[in-house]
Amino acid sequence: LADYIGHRHILGDGMPLAVAIAQKKPFSRLRWGPPGCGKTTLALLLADAFDARYIRLSAVFSGVKEVREAVAQAQQERAIGRKTILFIDEIHRFSKSQQDSLLAAVEQGIVTLIGATTENPSFEVIRPLLSRCQVYTLGPLSTEEIIGLLQHAITTDELLSQRRIVLTETAALLRYAGGDARRALNILELVALSTTSDPLLVTDELVSQRVQTNPLAFD
């Protein structure tokens, strides 16, 4: 969790989430933010920080049946004194009845719900579920955060750390990434895989050339 980049407004010292981690008291919440801002990564790290069972569902592929199975697993974990974090990606895609199936488990504390959405939850999530969750808005990563993320990847990523990579220019990479951490990492990986020079000097010209010749990779 210490390596997580961004969103200090909820993770900084004294902020609600930081306090909850320190006290080992998770609470249900919805995260609203654009793709690639770290919603899923943060959920996984928090499950570890709270020493909780982590169950992940995607609203695109899951329904009431999968929710009930997750709640049943959480009840078994609760019987032995272990918390369960239920992470639902794209929760705005759940229908009203599917969201209704979460209410009792969240209300009774059987699961700690973390929902991720790219849509405004005030319009896409039912009011009873909203009232049981805190809503946090996560924005795109800043220029400094994207660069920090890339520098971290250069030294720790299994693929990138095998090369000597130097970010000599970053304007084009940042422009194509648009605050999306996943896209920034994908671009850097594309440049590394398609360029054999060692050391690899990442320039604006090189990035623009590689991205424009592989447009479908960023569709």
| pLDDT above 90 as % of the chain | 69
pLDDT by residue (tens digit) across 43-65? 889 888 998 999 999 998 998 99
142: phi then psi, degrees, rounded to nearest 5 = -75, 170
- Structure pTM? 0.82
pLDDT by residue (tens digit) across 70-96? 999 999 999 999 999 999 999 999 999
Q: Which residue, 119, 143, 107, 95, is CA-closest to 28?
A: 107
Question: Distance between CA atoms of 41 and 200, rounded to whole angstroms?
Answer: 28
